[in-house]
């Protein structure tokens, strides 16, 4: 026998029994996001590598270690110099959404674009529980000249928290911080470099490298010695200018008013370069090392950095967003015994005498044409086995077409939950079923 093939490591098949739990997340998310005025956007699953380098930063792990590159394609435009473009599967949704926003000049169409996505992302990470190479995010991004308001930071954070609550996730912690304006962020990096200058010597090469290339990376380093040094720093919010501090205070004030519980964490900087002002992360208990179920923040300036913006407008385009990891949400729900697993239910299973296959086949078709989910066995089968199949499919009703029913032009309707059975004329069966399914009895 030839060997069975397996899926690539770090990916997962979502089997039919698991799909209801995913559908529940997706439906809840879509409804809530629409309540907040977000509209869905779908972008390609791969983009030019340059997009991710320019937005997430060359030193971000997601870019320098984890990009899953797709074989390049030669440009075929005649007269143009042939060049090979490198593509990568998207590791996150923000950069592609900004690319699409810019390319389609959405800033000319609306002052504020509120966009969401429910989509697969790809990162070549070492797989472990809660860390996959293909995973799924529910993300929201608000972009536009009208997006530079503290109210939107607060709304975005509250929305992420509400989504988690409406999925049924409990016991999560929201941490927030502010990086301030781009200038403040620069001062923060300078200050960090200065206070770490004498301490970096005895740390690992990886830490030294991070110190040189992007000092913020040290703040979320997993290296034990590095952590000890970072934990010993009195970081505070000294890097924030007066305006930066005011902005952050306002976001906090609004979160307080909305009753959203949070902790301020001065070490929270996030691993992607594009953030300014508010950054946040939500972690869930009981998930082990990969406990971040969602994260986000403000990224004013990224739109211009990727070639967008309207020159006639003053100032930069504002933006804020977040993404929640669906696999981790499902793990958290599972840990709390709350996943909607299930086989789903079919409305009707048709059980027939072998002689009346054609009649049963037509009845099945009539049911389906009337929006009733129905199935049957094709081919001869004993009654008992047909009932076993009806149970497997969780059928609410079984229609019975045996000798006597066929002779009298009737059909038996068996209510699988209550166990009782009734006979109705064939011409009335759709109507009767609709009535029963509608009333839920
Ligand atoms: P991120 O923190 O890189 O942010 O990812 C957001 C969430 O995606 C994480 O909190 C986690 O739940 C999930 N996630 C990330 N990597 C994996 C993985 N390998 N396996 C399973 N789940 C994973 C972003 O992606 C930003 N684009 C968020 C954002 C939107 N910021 C502004 N707008």
Q: What is the 330 CA–ligand 1 centroid distance (Å)?
A: 15
- The SS3 call for residue 329 is helix
Residue by residue, DSSP assigns 164-228 as: HHHHT--SEEEEEEE--SHHHHHHHHHHHHHHHTTTGGGS-HHHHHHHHH-GGGGGG---HHHHH
Q: Is the CB of 94 under 6 A from ligand 1?
A: yes
For the sheet containing 46-48, what is the strand order? 46-48, 84-89, 69-74
Q: Is the CB of 294 under 6 A from ligand 1?
A: yes
Q: Is the CB of 359 under 6 A from ligand 1?
A: no
Mutate to test the pocket of ligand 1, among 163, 175, 292 (most ligand atoms within 8 A of CB): 292
Which residue's CA lies nearest to atom 31 of ligand 1? 296
> In the chain, how many H helices and how many E strands?
16, 16
Q: Is the CB of 10 under 6 A from ligand 1?
A: no
Whether 330 contacts 164, CB under 8 Å: no
Pair of tokens at residue 196: 């770490």
Question: What does pTM read for this prediction?
Answer: 0.91
- The SS3 call for residue 196 is helix
Q: Per-residue confidence of the chain (441 residues) as pLDDT tens digits?
A: 789 999 999 999 999 989 999 999 999 999 999 999 999 999 999 999 999 999 998 888 899 899 999 987 666 566 666 677 899 999 999 999 999 999 999 998 899 999 999 999 999 999 999 999 999 999 999 999 999 999 999 999 999 999 999 999 999 999 999 999 999 999 999 999 999 998 888 888 888 888 888 898 888 888 888 888 888 888 888 889 999 999 999 999 999 999 999 999 988 988 788 999 999 999 998 888 889 999 999 999 999 999 999 888 888 999 999 999 999 999 999 998 887 666 778 999 999 999 999 999 999 999 999 999 999 999 999 999 999 999 999 999 999 999 999 999 999 999 999 999 999 999 999 999 999 998 854
Q: What is the 341 CA–ligand 1 centroid distance (Å)?
A: 25
Mutate to test the pocket of ligand 1, among 93, 295, 296, 327 (most ligand atoms within 8 A of CB): 295
Q: 243: Cβ–Cβ under 8 A, 6 or more apart, which residues?
A: 181
φ and ψ at 208, to 5 degrees?
-60, -40
Mutate to test the pocket of ligand 1, among 92, 278, 291, 297 (most ligand atoms within 8 A of CB): 92
Q: Is the CB of 396 under 6 A from ligand 1?
A: no
Rg, the chain, Cα only: 28
Query: Around Cβ 308, how many Cβ atoms within 10 Å?
Result: 20
């Amino acid at each position: 026998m030839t060997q069975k093939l397996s899926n690539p490591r770090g990916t997962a098949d979502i089997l039919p029994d698991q799909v209801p739990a995913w559908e529940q997340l997706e439906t809840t998310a879509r409804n809530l996001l629409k309540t907040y005025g977000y509209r869905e956007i779908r972008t390609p699953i791969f983009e030019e590598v340059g997009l991710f380098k320019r937005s997430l930063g060359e030193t971000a792990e997601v870019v320098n270690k984890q990009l899953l590159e797709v074989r390049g394609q030669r440009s075929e435009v005649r007269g143009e110099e042939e060049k090979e473009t490198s593509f990568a599967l998207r590791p996150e949704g923000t950069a592609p959404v900004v690319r699409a926003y810019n390319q389609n000049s959405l800033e000319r169409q609306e002052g504020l674009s509120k966009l969401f996505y429910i989509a697969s992302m790809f990162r070549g990470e070492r797989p472990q529980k809660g860390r996959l190479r293909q995973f799924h995010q529910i993300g929201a991004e608000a972009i536009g000249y009208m997006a530079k308001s503290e109210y939107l930071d607060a709304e975005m954070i509250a929305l992420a928290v509400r989504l988690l609550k409406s999925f049924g996730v409990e016991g999560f912690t929201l941490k927030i911080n502010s990086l301030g304006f781009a200038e403040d962020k620069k001062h923060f990096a300078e200050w960090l470099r200065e206070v770490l200058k004498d301490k970096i010597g005895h740390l690992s090469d990886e830490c030294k490298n991070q110190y040189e290339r992007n000092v913020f990376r040290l703040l979320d380093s997993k290296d034990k010695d590095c952590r000890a040094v970072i934990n010993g720093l009195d970081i505070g919010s000294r890097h924030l200018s007066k305006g930066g501090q005011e902005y952050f205070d306002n976001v906090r004030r609004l979160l307080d008013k909305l009753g959203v519980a949070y902790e301020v964490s001065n070490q929270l900087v996030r691993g992607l370069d594009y953030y300014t002002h508010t950054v946040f992360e939500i972690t869930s208990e009981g998930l082990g090392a990969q406990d971040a179920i969602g994260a986000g923040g403000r990224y004013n300036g990224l739109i211009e950095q990727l070639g967008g913006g309207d020159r006639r407008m003053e100032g930069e385009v504002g933006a804020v967003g977040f993404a929640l990891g669906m696999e981790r949400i499902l793990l958290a729900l599972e840990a709390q015994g709350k996943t909607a697993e299930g086989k789903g239910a079919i409305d009707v299973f048709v059980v027939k005498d072998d002689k009346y296959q054609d009649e049963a086949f037509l009845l099945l078709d009539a049911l389906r044409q009337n929006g009733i989910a129905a199935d049957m066995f094709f081919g001869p089968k004993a009654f008992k086995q047909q009932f076993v199949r009806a149970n497997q499919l969780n059928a609410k009703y079984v229609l019975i077409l045996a000798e006597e029913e066929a002779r009298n032009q009737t059909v038996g309707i068996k209510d699988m939950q209550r166990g009782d059975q009734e006979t109705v004329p064939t011409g009335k069966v759709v109507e009767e079923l609709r009535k029963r399914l509608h009333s839920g009895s």
